[in-house]
Structure 1
Amino acid sequence: MQHLETMPRGLPKAVKKCLEKSRDSALLAVETYNKPAIKFKSGGYIVLMVISWTALFHAIFFRQKKKPFYKKNNRFEKKDGDYCYWELSTCVSKYFVADTNNPIRKNLEFFIPLRNMVEHKSIPEIDSDIFAECQAMLLNYDKIMLKEFGNKYCLRESLSFALQLYPSSKSLNNAIIANPSTKPIVDFIKAYRSGITTDIMNSGEYSFKAFLIQVANHQTKNTLPIQFVAYDKLDDTQKTNVNRVAALVKNKFVQVPVTNKDLLKPSVVVKKVQTALGNPKINKNGKEKDKFNMDTHTRCWKKYQVRPENGNENPELTKPEYCVYDQPNDTYLYTEDWSDYLIEEMAKEDEYNSLYE
């Protein structure tokens, strides 16, 4: 690796120091993750990669002649004689600005609260389940490094493939059974994943997924034993073949859990109830609309007191059998029991009418 004194000249000293810290932290993160004897695998990796990403953003801001320090009363804050640097969450918001749905940003925003959760806990039970996000976090790091500082600072030439056995196929629910103390972390992971769009979830920049198939030895000695092929670079025929093989691998080898299968967005609840009621219509102000709509749903959660009003100081005080507060996205998700309850109650005309009295 290129250390401070051997890095090419031209970058300011502050930028070089941040880059060295960032690269060292990233390499330590990978080394920690790939050591088979270490049980604090994901925890150590996440903590070190958060440091690495933070230092990378600081290097970018310093090069842009921006000072990544917090201000108070229009003056840079100091603590113990040193400036208070922006944390990763602030760096992310400053770098991506209005691009709130960027998959790289969503990946980092997944790890920021998770880092605080795992810092003082050993949670090997969730390692296999969050591997895809961990891998994407590393690939994204090199992608941003390449974009901002060029190929000579990337890690790809310093790393090789880790030797692997068949990975564990344990689900997050298995993690809770094995270690009940992981439940808050598992709940966070499920809530975060359910709160992002399908496009983000399927993006390789948010979560890198791959399947390895053992093949016959290559015809030439110089062929790489493992090669990455970007899915979005394949033509339609190749994608169809890949999807067919992936489906076979899933069905034959892996029990794939459906995360948050009991948690629904409000719009999904509305659609389920409206459909179950027979898709009835009402006439309002001369316009036809669904009888059970988003306004009806809002009236329901207020009447049955399943969650607090918006702006409440304690948004987590819900009826958990019906509703869960998703803290990272500041929104509410609902259970299948809630939709079933509404279907039963809204079938009663008097109960429906009471919402509008």
Structure 2
Amino acid sequence: MIKGKLLEKSKEAFVMAIEIYNKPTIKYRVEGFSFFICNAWELMLKAYMIKKFGEKSIYYKDNPNRTITLENCIKKIFTNEKAPLRLNIEKIIDLRNTSTHFVTEEYEMVYIPLFQACLFNFIEKMQEFHNIDMTEVVPQNFLTLAVSMKSLNESEIRAKYPEEIVAKLIATNESLSSMVEENNHGFAIKIEHHHYITKDKHKATSFVHIDKDAKIGVKIIKELKDPNDTHKYTTKACIKEINKRLKREDIDIEVNKYHFTLFCKYYEIKENAKLCYVHKIHAQPTYSYSMQTTDFIFEEIKKDPENIIQNIKSKAKK
């Protein structure tokens, strides 16, 4: 059956994209990833079109021997032009189409947030459209792409490449950076590094010495963090994300607002600055949550999905 063959090839292309990107010996892994992830999306979406509209839907009407492009598949299935998921795929398609003319390793620093979001979007849609759990194909811990710690340096790339490539790379970086700020995690997964000072060495993953005059040491500074970046999830958004993960793991429980409130009270989430930010502008405070909140509640439910809600209720009454 053609739909089944398309899905098998789609899964293989998805795995190839991850393997190529995470293989340290491949220099131009960005181009390889963009090619295979686009191939995975195209095959998967065509299988969905066959399922929903019939086999003829994946062929051009005036040329029944030729299947339609990925761009056409996207327009037919994701009709909202401004949807972050659609914008994400379209930008990666642009990279696939132009990367043969602008092959630079620096593209990795620009596109990695989009690539990571693209993987998660694919997993979600594979589950939604075909009831296929991609974590059974690729273990969860292998779904995170290797991230370069180096940032884009304009002076370095100007010394390294012709002006045409430099201009293209800088323009792409500026365009995508503004889009990352305007869209949610469906478009890009932000890569952030946070540094904290602790006296307990056992909690540290790296060490520095403090010297205000040293070139190698570090200086203590105070940094204001925008809660719109660190704690950008409403109660509704948290519940939606938790239920999405539960469904993906085939855990038969649906969290509602009452359950979320139970978790917040029992685990004192609103008193934990890492999990919750309290907005005190109005007389009645409002709350927003970090991604760690959804991670935490999901992991707690996963431990004992059948009894966790009842257990929390019982313990809260004592």
TM-score bucket of the superposed structures, by smaller chain: 0.5 to 0.7
8 Å CA contact 1:135–1:207 kept in 2: the answer is yes
Structure 1 residues 230 and 55: alpha-carbon distance in aligned structure 2, compared to 1, 3 A threshold: farther
Given the alignment, which residue of 158, 165, 188 partners 1:182?
165
Letter in 1 for 2:99: V
Letter in 1 for 2:176: R
Structure 1 residues 87 and 173: alpha-carbon distance in aligned structure 2, compared to 1, 3 A threshold: farther
Counting only pairs closer than 5 Å after superposition, residues 132-171 of structure 1 correspond to structure 2 as 132-154=113-135, 157-158=138-139, 160-161=141-142, 167-171=149-153
Supply the distance in 1 between the matched residues of 2:9 and 2:231 (Cα, whole angstroms): 30
Structure 1 residues 169 and 188: alpha-carbon distance in aligned structure 2, compared to 1, 3 A threshold: closer
8 Å CA contact 1:142–1:156 kept in 2: the answer is no
Supply the distance in 2 between the matched residues of 1:192 and 1:144 (Cα, whole angstroms): 26
Structure 1 residues 16 and 28: alpha-carbon distance in aligned structure 2, compared to 1, 3 A threshold: same
Supply the distance in 2 between the matched residues of 1:139 and 1:172 (Cα, whole angstroms): 30
Given the alignment, which residue of 173, 179, 182 partners 1:199?
182
Structure 1 residues 153 and 125: alpha-carbon distance in aligned structure 2, compared to 1, 3 A threshold: closer
Aligned-pair CA distance for 1:68: 1.0
8 Å CA contact 2:71–2:90 kept in 1: the answer is yes
8 Å CA contact 1:114–1:185 kept in 2: the answer is no
Aligned-pair CA distance for 1:101: 1.1
Counting only pairs closer than 5 Å after superposition, residues 185-264 of structure 1 correspond to structure 2 as 185-186=168-169, 189-190=172-173, 192-193=175-176, 196=179, 198-200=181-183, 203-211=184-192, 216=202, 232=233, 233=238, 237=273, 238=275, 240=277
Letter in 2 for 1:41: R
Q: Which residue of 1 aligns with 2:17?
A: 29
Supply the distance in 1 between the matched residues of 2:125 and 2:156 (Cα, whole angstroms): 35
Q: Which residue of 1 aligns with 2:99?
A: 118
Structure 1 residues 88 and 154: alpha-carbon distance in aligned structure 2, compared to 1, 3 A threshold: farther
8 Å CA contact 1:125–1:179 kept in 2: the answer is no
Supply the distance in 2 between the matched residues of 1:108 and 1:53 (Cα, whole angstroms): 9
Q: Which residue of 2 aligns with 1:61?
A: 49
- 1:84 correspondence with 2:66: yes
8 Å CA contact 1:132–1:207 kept in 2: the answer is yes
Q: CA RMSD in A?
A: 3.6
Structure 1 residues 174 and 159: alpha-carbon distance in aligned structure 2, compared to 1, 3 A threshold: farther
User: Max radius of gyration: which structure?
Assistant: 1
Aligned-pair CA distance for 1:170: 2.2
Q: Extract unaligned runs of 5+ from structure 2.
A: 196-200, 205-229, 239-268, 279-287, 291-318
Q: Which residue of 1 aligns with 2:38?
A: 50
Structure 1 residues 213 and 65: alpha-carbon distance in aligned structure 2, compared to 1, 3 A threshold: same
Counting only pairs closer than 5 Å after superposition, residues 70-81 of structure 1 correspond to structure 2 as 70-72=60-62, 77-78=63-64
Aligned-pair CA distance for 1:111: 1.3
8 Å CA contact 2:114–2:189 kept in 1: the answer is yes
Question: Which deviations, in whole Å up to 9, do the C-alpha atoms of 1:92-112 show, x marking residues without a partner?
Answer: 110112x11110001011112
Supply the distance in 1 between the matched residues of 2:189 and 2:178 (Cα, whole angstroms): 18
For residue 84 of structure 1, give the secondary structure of its aligned residue in structure 2. Answer: strand
Structure 1 residues 117 and 176: alpha-carbon distance in aligned structure 2, compared to 1, 3 A threshold: farther
Supply the distance in 1 between the matched residues of 2:277 and 2:136 (Cα, whole angstroms): 32
Supply the distance in 1 between the matched residues of 2:43 and 2:145 (Cα, whole angstroms): 29
Structure 1 residues 118 and 55: alpha-carbon distance in aligned structure 2, compared to 1, 3 A threshold: same
Letter in 1 for 2:82: N
Deviates more, 1:154-163 or 1:141-150: 154-163
Given the alignment, which residue of 83, 95, 104 partners 1:102?
83
What TM-score do the two structures reach when normalised by structure 2? Answer: 0.56
Structure 1 residues 132 and 166: alpha-carbon distance in aligned structure 2, compared to 1, 3 A threshold: closer
Letter in 2 for 1:169: S
Matched pairs, number: 211
Question: Which deviations, in whole Å up to 9, do the C-alpha atoms of 1:45-66 show, x marking residues without a partner?
Answer: 0011111111111011011133
Aligned-pair CA distance for 1:153: 4.4
Deviates more, 1:164-173 or 1:51-60: 164-173
Supply the distance in 2 between the matched residues of 1:55 and 1:230 (Cα, whole angstroms): 36
Supply the distance in 2 between the matched residues of 1:168 and 1:197 (Cα, whole angstroms): 19
Higher fraction of helix:
2
Supply the distance in 2 between the matched residues of 1:65 and 1:44 (Cα, whole angstroms): 31
Supply the distance in 1 between the matched residues of 2:116 and 2:50 (Cα, whole angstroms): 27
Structure 1 residues 158 and 172: alpha-carbon distance in aligned structure 2, compared to 1, 3 A threshold: farther
Aligned-pair CA distance for 1:85: 1.2
Supply the distance in 1 between the matched residues of 2:53 and 2:145 (Cα, whole angstroms): 42
Letter in 2 for 1:85: T
Letter in 2 for 1:71: K
Structure 1 residues 187 and 94: alpha-carbon distance in aligned structure 2, compared to 1, 3 A threshold: farther
Structure 1 residues 187 and 128: alpha-carbon distance in aligned structure 2, compared to 1, 3 A threshold: closer
Supply the distance in 1 between the matched residues of 2:77 and 2:154 (Cα, whole angstroms): 32
8 Å CA contact 2:116–2:145 kept in 1: the answer is no
Q: Extract unaligned runs of 5+ from structure 1.
A: 1-12, 219-228, 245-357
